[in-house]
């Protein structure tokens, strides 16, 4: 049997590059607490993402919890269940109530046309998710939010480096959260960031990630600990140098999948959005009416050592931990349920070989 192909493989810089970057940590003995690497990575990302404020955090999830606290949100937050556990959990863990909106069947992101019907006097924010490298309908969401005085926080964990008409995905809404987890397009091993335009938010976000400590003798918030350490920031500095090439390699893989699987009856592929420069974070395929159903394709691939992922499945409003909670019902979001039951994301990473992509397609088509 050929070598196992996993759904993703973490991108790494050349070993020597990372060693050279961390050498100065041995000189300074400064391992964490907003050191030199941390400061340099924040600046580099501000430039790369074209946004005024970047605050680094331990991971994307804590970034979400941080911004919900920083914006002092209490009440209902409109979101969608077609996401990773983190989005819904962050809302619940911060004491707010998720209100689930269905998704658009073409982009897998929140169906902006269905948001307004869900707004009540308790609604405080919208927390939409950019999915797979596709962007939400940011203009319509902005219009709705302004009209109803709601905050907008994007879960942009899948959208690092994505642009719409040349504008970075980090620039939409009141804030955007990015994840730099090992499996993401850009990684710092574990890590995350918040991006926002309003400078006055910055101090609160920074205080909250450091125990609410504002100065040596001043503690205005009940904060947690969500600082990024110097080793993770160093990984980010190294990876950022290679990112543009990695994005091109991902795009080449997607184009090969499209050439092989496009136009096959019963197989639906994710399309590029007009005006959007994708990062090709994931390659979702919907199996509906194909000779094999999703679970059969998954099993056939696994037999041959190809590990695809049912992502997102199960959708978050059907999680066991939310059983019997009012409003948590996958039947209320039929499009999200439909996609969750039929989707498979295929292996996709920088450096995945053309022969491997052919092998994967042969198994699916065989």
Ligand X SMILES: *Cc1c(COP(=O)(O)O)cnc(C)c1O
176 binds ligand X (CB under 6 A): no
N- to C-terminal Cα distance for the chain? 17
Residues of span 316-345 touching ligand X by CB under 6 A: none
Task: State the Cα–Cα distance between residues 274 and 103, nearest whole angstrom.
Answer: 18
Give least dist CB 60 to ligand X, A.
Answer: 3
Q: Restricting to residues 81-100, which ones interact with ligand X according to CB under 6 A?
A: 83-84, 86-87
State the angle between helix axes of 294-303 and 354-365 in degrees (0 to 180), rounded to the nearest 10: 130
Q: Contacts with ligand X: how many residues (CB under 6 A)?
A: 14
Beta bridge partners of 219: none
State which of positions 139-168 bind ligand X (CB under 6 A).
155, 157-158
Binding of residue 192 to ligand X (CB under 6 A): yes
Q: How far is the CB of 226 from ligand X (least distance, A)?
A: 10
- Region of residue 179 (left: phi > 0; alpha: psi -120 to 50; beta: else): beta
Per-residue HEC secondary structure of 320-351 comes to HHHCCCCCCCHHHCHHHHHHHHHEEEECCCCC
Q: Which one, 42 or 155, has the nearer CB to ligand X?
A: 155
CB of 87 to ligand X, least distance (A): 5
H/E stretch holding 57 reads strand 53-57
Is residue 61 at the binding interface for ligand X, with CB under 6 A as the rule?
yes
- Token readout for 255 is 């184009």
Token duo for residue 152 = 């907008």
Q: How far is the CB of 155 from ligand X (least distance, A)?
A: 5
Binding mask 97-136 for ligand X (x = CB under 6 A): --------------------------------x-------
With respect to ligand X, which residue has the nearer C-beta, 98 or 256? 98
Structure tokens belonging to residue 145: 């939010």
Residue ranges in contact with ligand X by CB under 6 A: 59-61, 83-84, 86-87, 129, 155, 157-158, 179, 181, 192
């Amino acid at each position: 049997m050929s070598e196992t192909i996993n759904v993703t493989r973490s991108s790494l810089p050349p070993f020597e590059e990372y060693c050279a970057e961390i050498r100065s940590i041995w000189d300074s003995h400064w391992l964490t607490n907003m050191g030199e690497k941390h400061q340099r990575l924040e600046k580099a990302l501000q430039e790369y993402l074209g946004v005024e404020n970047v605050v680094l955090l331990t991971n994307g999830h804590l970034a979400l919890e941080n911004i919900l606290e920083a914006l002092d949100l209490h009440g209902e937050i409109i979101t969608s269940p077609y996401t990773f556990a983190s989005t819904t959990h962050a809302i619940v863990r911060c004491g707010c109530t998720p209100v689930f909106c269905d998704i658009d069947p073409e982009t897998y992101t929140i169906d902006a046309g269905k948001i307004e019907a869900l707004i009540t006097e308790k609604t405080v924010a919208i927390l939409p998710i950019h999915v797979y490298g596709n962007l939400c309908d940011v203009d319509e969401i902005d219009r709705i939010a302004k009209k109803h005085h709601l905050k907008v926080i994007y879960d942009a964990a899948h959208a690092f480096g994505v642009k719409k008409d040349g504008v970075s995905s980090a620039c939409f809404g009141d804030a955007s959260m990015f994840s730099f987890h090992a499996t993401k397009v850009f990684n710092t091993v574990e890590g995350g960031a918040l991006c926002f335009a309003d400078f006055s938010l910055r101090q609160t976000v920074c205080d909250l990630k450091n125990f609410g400590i504002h100065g040596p003798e001043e503690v205005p918030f009940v904060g947690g600990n969500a600082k990024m350490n110097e080793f993770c920031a160093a990984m980010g500095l190294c990876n950022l140098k290679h990112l543009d090439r990695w994005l091109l390699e991902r795009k080449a893989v997607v184009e090969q999948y499209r050439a092989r699987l496009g136009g096959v009856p019963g197989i639906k592929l994710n399309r590029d959005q007009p005006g959007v420069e994708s990062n090709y974070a994931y390659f979702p395929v919907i199996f509906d009416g194909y000779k094999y159903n999703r679970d059969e394709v998954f099993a056939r691939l696994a037999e041959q050592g190809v590990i695809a992922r049912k992502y997102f499945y199960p959708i978050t409003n059907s999680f066991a931990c939310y059983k019997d909670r009012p409003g948590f019902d996958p039947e209320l979001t039929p499009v999200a349920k439909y996609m969750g039951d039929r989707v498979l994301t295929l292996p996709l990473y920088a450096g995945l070989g053309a022969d491997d992509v052919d092998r994967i397609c042969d198994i699916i088509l065989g």
